[in-house]
Amino acid sequence: MWDYTDKVRDHYLHPRNVGEVEKPDGMGEIGNMKCGDALKLTFNLDDEGTIKDIKFKTFGCGSAIASSSMLTELCKGKTLEEASKITNKEIAEALGGLPAEKMHCSVMGQEALQKAIEYYKSGGKAAETKEKEGELVCTCFTVTDVEIEQAIRQNNLHTVDEVTHYTKAGGGCGGCVPKIEEILAKVTGTKIEKAPAPKPMTSVQKIDKIRETLDKEVRPMLRKDGGDCELIDVDGNTVLIKFSGHCAGCAFSEMTQFGFIEKILKEKVFSGLVVKRA
Protein backbone atom coordinates (compact mmCIF):
# COMPACT_ATOMS: atom_id res chain seq x y z
CA MET A 1 0.00 0.00 0.00
CA TRP A 2 1.11 3.55 -0.67
CA ASP A 3 2.46 5.53 2.28
CA TYR A 4 0.49 8.76 1.91
CA THR A 5 1.02 11.84 4.05
CA ASP A 6 -1.82 13.41 6.03
CA LYS A 7 -1.96 16.28 3.51
CA VAL A 8 -2.34 13.88 0.59
CA ARG A 9 -5.16 12.07 2.39
CA ASP A 10 -6.82 15.40 3.23
CA HIS A 11 -6.74 16.70 -0.34
CA TYR A 12 -7.88 13.31 -1.68
CA LEU A 13 -10.81 12.98 0.71
CA HIS A 14 -11.65 16.71 0.71
CA PRO A 15 -10.40 18.07 -2.63
CA ARG A 16 -10.48 21.83 -3.13
CA ASN A 17 -11.77 23.63 -6.22
CA VAL A 18 -13.40 20.67 -7.97
CA GLY A 19 -15.41 21.46 -11.08
CA GLU A 20 -15.10 23.70 -14.11
CA VAL A 21 -14.93 27.49 -14.33
CA GLU A 22 -17.64 29.08 -16.49
CA LYS A 23 -16.32 30.84 -19.60
CA PRO A 24 -12.70 30.16 -18.64
CA ASP A 25 -9.82 32.40 -19.66
CA GLY A 26 -7.50 29.41 -19.56
CA MET A 27 -8.11 25.71 -20.10
CA GLY A 28 -5.75 22.74 -20.22
CA GLU A 29 -6.51 19.06 -20.76
CA ILE A 30 -4.00 16.23 -20.65
CA GLY A 31 -4.02 12.45 -20.44
CA ASN A 32 -6.67 10.02 -21.56
CA MET A 33 -8.95 7.40 -20.04
CA LYS A 34 -7.04 4.51 -21.63
CA CYS A 35 -3.90 5.43 -19.73
CA GLY A 36 -5.84 5.75 -16.51
CA ASP A 37 -5.08 9.46 -15.99
CA ALA A 38 -6.94 12.49 -17.29
CA LEU A 39 -7.01 16.06 -15.99
CA LYS A 40 -8.86 19.21 -17.04
CA LEU A 41 -7.85 22.54 -15.52
CA THR A 42 -9.72 25.83 -16.02
CA PHE A 43 -9.14 29.31 -14.61
CA ASN A 44 -10.32 32.90 -14.76
CA LEU A 45 -8.29 36.06 -14.22
CA ASP A 46 -9.30 39.25 -12.43
CA ASP A 47 -8.83 42.76 -13.81
CA GLU A 48 -5.26 42.85 -12.51
CA GLY A 49 -4.29 39.65 -14.32
CA THR A 50 -4.12 37.34 -11.30
CA ILE A 51 -5.85 33.99 -11.02
CA LYS A 52 -9.08 34.61 -9.12
CA ASP A 53 -10.80 31.27 -9.77
CA ILE A 54 -9.34 27.93 -10.75
CA LYS A 55 -10.94 24.47 -10.80
CA PHE A 56 -10.12 20.95 -11.89
CA LYS A 57 -11.71 17.70 -12.98
CA THR A 58 -9.61 14.56 -12.88
CA PHE A 59 -9.93 10.86 -13.57
CA GLY A 60 -7.24 9.12 -11.61
CA CYS A 61 -5.99 7.81 -8.30
CA GLY A 62 -5.84 9.50 -4.91
CA SER A 63 -2.45 11.05 -5.72
CA ALA A 64 -3.82 12.58 -8.93
CA ILE A 65 -6.77 14.11 -7.07
CA ALA A 66 -4.58 15.40 -4.24
CA SER A 67 -1.97 16.84 -6.63
CA SER A 68 -4.62 18.63 -8.70
CA SER A 69 -6.29 19.98 -5.58
CA MET A 70 -3.01 21.32 -4.16
CA LEU A 71 -2.04 22.83 -7.51
CA THR A 72 -5.22 24.91 -7.64
CA GLU A 73 -4.52 26.19 -4.12
CA LEU A 74 -0.97 27.15 -5.09
CA CYS A 75 -2.20 29.04 -8.17
CA LYS A 76 -4.80 31.24 -6.50
CA GLY A 77 -3.81 34.89 -6.35
CA LYS A 78 -0.78 34.45 -8.60
CA THR A 79 -0.12 36.08 -11.96
CA LEU A 80 0.29 33.77 -14.95
CA GLU A 81 4.03 34.40 -14.87
CA GLU A 82 4.18 33.36 -11.23
CA ALA A 83 1.92 30.35 -11.78
CA SER A 84 3.97 29.18 -14.76
CA LYS A 85 6.98 28.77 -12.46
CA ILE A 86 5.20 26.23 -10.23
CA THR A 87 6.98 22.90 -10.63
CA ASN A 88 5.89 19.37 -9.92
CA LYS A 89 8.41 19.35 -7.08
CA GLU A 90 6.61 22.25 -5.40
CA ILE A 91 3.28 20.44 -5.73
CA ALA A 92 4.70 17.29 -4.17
CA GLU A 93 6.49 19.22 -1.40
CA ALA A 94 3.31 21.15 -0.56
CA LEU A 95 1.62 17.78 -0.04
CA GLY A 96 4.37 16.65 2.29
CA GLY A 97 5.76 14.36 -0.39
CA LEU A 98 4.42 11.69 -2.72
CA PRO A 99 5.46 8.04 -3.14
CA ALA A 100 8.12 7.78 -5.86
CA GLU A 101 5.75 5.67 -7.98
CA LYS A 102 3.18 8.49 -7.90
CA MET A 103 5.35 11.46 -8.87
CA HIS A 104 3.88 11.42 -12.38
CA CYS A 105 0.65 12.73 -10.81
CA SER A 106 2.37 15.97 -9.83
CA VAL A 107 3.92 16.20 -13.31
CA MET A 108 0.46 15.82 -14.82
CA GLY A 109 -0.75 18.87 -12.87
CA GLN A 110 2.21 20.96 -13.97
CA GLU A 111 1.63 20.05 -17.63
CA ALA A 112 -2.10 20.83 -17.44
CA LEU A 113 -1.34 24.26 -15.97
CA GLN A 114 1.11 25.02 -18.77
CA LYS A 115 -1.50 24.05 -21.35
CA ALA A 116 -4.10 26.24 -19.65
CA ILE A 117 -1.72 29.19 -19.78
CA GLU A 118 -0.94 28.49 -23.45
CA TYR A 119 -4.68 28.41 -24.13
CA TYR A 120 -5.07 31.89 -22.63
CA LYS A 121 -2.10 33.35 -24.49
CA SER A 122 -3.24 31.90 -27.82
CA GLY A 123 -6.80 33.15 -27.53
CA GLY A 124 -8.21 29.69 -26.88
CA LYS A 125 -6.90 27.95 -29.99
CA ALA A 126 -3.35 26.64 -30.01
CA ALA A 127 -3.44 24.65 -26.78
CA GLU A 128 -6.37 22.55 -28.02
CA THR A 129 -4.76 21.53 -31.31
CA LYS A 130 -1.06 21.56 -30.52
CA GLU A 131 0.56 18.15 -30.96
CA LYS A 132 3.19 16.81 -28.61
CA GLU A 133 6.71 17.95 -29.41
CA GLY A 134 9.34 15.34 -30.12
CA GLU A 135 9.49 11.67 -31.07
CA LEU A 136 7.09 9.19 -29.49
CA VAL A 137 9.07 6.83 -27.26
CA CYS A 138 6.49 5.08 -25.07
CA THR A 139 3.48 3.98 -27.10
CA CYS A 140 1.71 2.53 -24.05
CA PHE A 141 1.45 5.93 -22.38
CA THR A 142 2.22 8.24 -25.35
CA VAL A 143 5.34 9.84 -23.87
CA THR A 144 7.85 11.60 -26.14
CA ASP A 145 11.62 11.98 -25.91
CA VAL A 146 11.18 15.69 -25.18
CA GLU A 147 8.97 14.92 -22.16
CA ILE A 148 11.45 12.34 -20.88
CA GLU A 149 14.41 14.71 -21.28
CA GLN A 150 12.55 17.48 -19.48
CA ALA A 151 11.64 15.18 -16.57
CA ILE A 152 15.25 13.98 -16.27
CA ARG A 153 16.65 17.53 -16.17
CA GLN A 154 14.03 19.05 -13.89
CA ASN A 155 14.06 16.21 -11.35
CA ASN A 156 17.68 15.01 -11.58
CA LEU A 157 16.71 11.48 -12.61
CA HIS A 158 19.32 8.77 -13.13
CA THR A 159 17.52 5.45 -13.61
CA VAL A 160 14.83 4.00 -15.84
CA ASP A 161 12.67 3.32 -12.79
CA GLU A 162 12.84 7.01 -11.82
CA VAL A 163 11.83 8.04 -15.34
CA THR A 164 8.87 5.66 -15.14
CA HIS A 165 7.80 7.09 -11.79
CA TYR A 166 7.76 10.64 -13.19
CA THR A 167 6.46 10.05 -16.73
CA LYS A 168 5.03 6.46 -16.77
CA ALA A 169 7.27 5.77 -19.79
CA GLY A 170 8.51 2.18 -19.60
CA GLY A 171 5.75 1.15 -17.22
CA GLY A 172 3.76 -0.82 -19.80
CA CYS A 173 5.17 -3.43 -22.16
CA GLY A 174 8.76 -2.34 -21.50
CA GLY A 175 9.64 -2.11 -25.17
CA CYS A 176 10.80 1.49 -24.84
CA VAL A 177 13.28 0.83 -22.01
CA PRO A 178 16.36 0.73 -24.34
CA LYS A 179 15.38 4.13 -25.77
CA ILE A 180 14.89 5.56 -22.27
CA GLU A 181 18.38 4.30 -21.40
CA GLU A 182 19.78 6.12 -24.44
CA ILE A 183 18.08 9.37 -23.43
CA LEU A 184 19.35 9.02 -19.86
CA ALA A 185 22.90 8.48 -21.11
CA LYS A 186 22.68 11.51 -23.40
CA VAL A 187 21.22 13.88 -20.81
CA THR A 188 23.27 12.77 -17.78
CA GLY A 189 26.48 12.12 -19.71
CA THR A 190 26.96 8.81 -17.99
CA LYS A 191 26.83 5.22 -19.18
CA ILE A 192 23.58 3.57 -18.14
CA GLU A 193 23.74 -0.11 -17.33
CA LYS A 194 21.14 -1.73 -19.53
CA ALA A 195 18.30 -3.54 -17.82
CA PRO A 196 17.47 -7.09 -18.93
CA ALA A 197 14.63 -7.37 -21.40
CA PRO A 198 11.34 -8.10 -19.60
CA LYS A 199 10.02 -11.63 -19.99
CA PRO A 200 6.34 -12.01 -20.86
CA MET A 201 4.23 -13.50 -18.07
CA THR A 202 2.50 -16.79 -18.48
CA SER A 203 -1.27 -16.92 -17.94
CA VAL A 204 -0.79 -18.46 -14.49
CA GLN A 205 1.77 -15.82 -13.51
CA LYS A 206 -0.54 -13.05 -14.70
CA ILE A 207 -3.49 -14.38 -12.69
CA ASP A 208 -1.32 -14.79 -9.59
CA LYS A 209 0.02 -11.25 -9.95
CA ILE A 210 -3.49 -9.84 -10.40
CA ARG A 211 -4.76 -11.70 -7.33
CA GLU A 212 -1.75 -10.57 -5.27
CA THR A 213 -2.19 -6.93 -6.32
CA LEU A 214 -5.90 -6.96 -5.50
CA ASP A 215 -5.24 -8.51 -2.08
CA LYS A 216 -2.38 -6.17 -1.14
CA GLU A 217 -3.16 -2.88 -2.89
CA VAL A 218 -6.90 -2.75 -3.56
CA ARG A 219 -8.99 -4.68 -1.05
CA PRO A 220 -7.44 -3.13 2.09
CA MET A 221 -8.34 0.35 0.79
CA LEU A 222 -11.91 -0.67 -0.09
CA ARG A 223 -12.39 -2.29 3.31
CA LYS A 224 -11.57 1.00 5.04
CA ASP A 225 -14.88 2.32 3.67
CA GLY A 226 -16.83 -0.88 4.29
CA GLY A 227 -16.46 -2.21 0.75
CA ASP A 228 -14.64 -5.06 -0.94
CA CYS A 229 -14.14 -6.77 -4.29
CA GLU A 230 -13.57 -10.33 -5.46
CA LEU A 231 -11.66 -11.64 -8.45
CA ILE A 232 -14.10 -13.71 -10.52
CA ASP A 233 -12.09 -14.56 -13.63
CA VAL A 234 -9.30 -13.45 -15.97
CA ASP A 235 -10.12 -13.79 -19.67
CA GLY A 236 -7.04 -12.81 -21.65
CA ASN A 237 -6.43 -9.19 -20.63
CA THR A 238 -9.93 -8.71 -19.20
CA VAL A 239 -10.18 -8.89 -15.41
CA LEU A 240 -13.65 -9.70 -14.08
CA ILE A 241 -14.40 -8.51 -10.55
CA LYS A 242 -17.42 -8.38 -8.27
CA PHE A 243 -18.01 -5.59 -5.76
CA SER A 244 -19.45 -6.31 -2.33
CA GLY A 245 -20.28 -4.39 0.83
CA HIS A 246 -20.65 -0.64 0.44
CA CYS A 247 -18.97 -0.78 -2.99
CA ALA A 248 -21.81 -2.86 -4.45
CA GLY A 249 -24.30 0.00 -4.40
CA CYS A 250 -21.95 2.98 -4.27
CA ALA A 251 -22.60 5.81 -6.72
CA PHE A 252 -18.82 6.17 -7.16
CA SER A 253 -18.17 2.49 -7.89
CA GLU A 254 -17.45 3.21 -11.55
CA MET A 255 -14.72 5.67 -10.55
CA THR A 256 -13.35 3.05 -8.16
CA GLN A 257 -13.40 0.45 -10.93
CA PHE A 258 -11.51 2.51 -13.51
CA GLY A 259 -9.74 5.25 -11.59
CA PHE A 260 -8.45 3.03 -8.80
CA ILE A 261 -8.60 -0.72 -9.46
CA GLU A 262 -7.86 -0.73 -13.19
CA LYS A 263 -5.18 1.92 -12.76
CA ILE A 264 -3.31 -0.05 -10.10
CA LEU A 265 -3.52 -3.28 -12.11
CA LYS A 266 -2.16 -1.46 -15.18
CA GLU A 267 0.76 -0.13 -13.15
CA LYS A 268 1.54 -3.28 -11.19
CA VAL A 269 0.72 -6.06 -13.66
CA PHE A 270 0.26 -5.06 -17.30
CA SER A 271 -0.79 -1.82 -18.99
CA GLY A 272 -3.18 -3.61 -21.37
CA LEU A 273 -5.49 -4.94 -18.65
CA VAL A 274 -9.17 -3.95 -18.66
CA VAL A 275 -11.37 -4.30 -15.58
CA LYS A 276 -15.01 -5.30 -15.98
CA ARG A 277 -17.71 -6.29 -13.54
CA ALA A 278 -18.95 -9.85 -13.61
Residue 259 to residue 105: CA distance in whole angstroms: 13
Q: What is the largest CA-CA distance in the chain?
A: 62
User: Has 176 been annotated as catalytic?
Assistant: no
- 35 part of the active site: yes
74 HSE (CA, 13 A, CB side): 25
Say how many CA atoms lie within 13 Å of 52 toward its Cβ.
Answer: 9
Question: Partners of 138 in the beta sheet?
Answer: 143
**Which residue among the candidates 35, 138, 140, 176 is catalytic per the annotation?**
35
Bridge-partner residues for 79, per DSSP? 50
The alpha helices in 99-144, defined as continuous H runs, are 103-121, 126-129
Cβ atoms of 118 and 130 within 8 Å: the answer is yes
The catalytically annotated residue of 61, 105, 140, 229 is 105
* Residue 123, Ramachandran bin (φ over 0: left; ψ between -120 and 50: alpha; else beta): left
Comparing CA positions, the residue from 191, 141, 187, 186 lying closest to residue 166 is 141
> Which sequence positions are flagged as catalytic?
35, 105
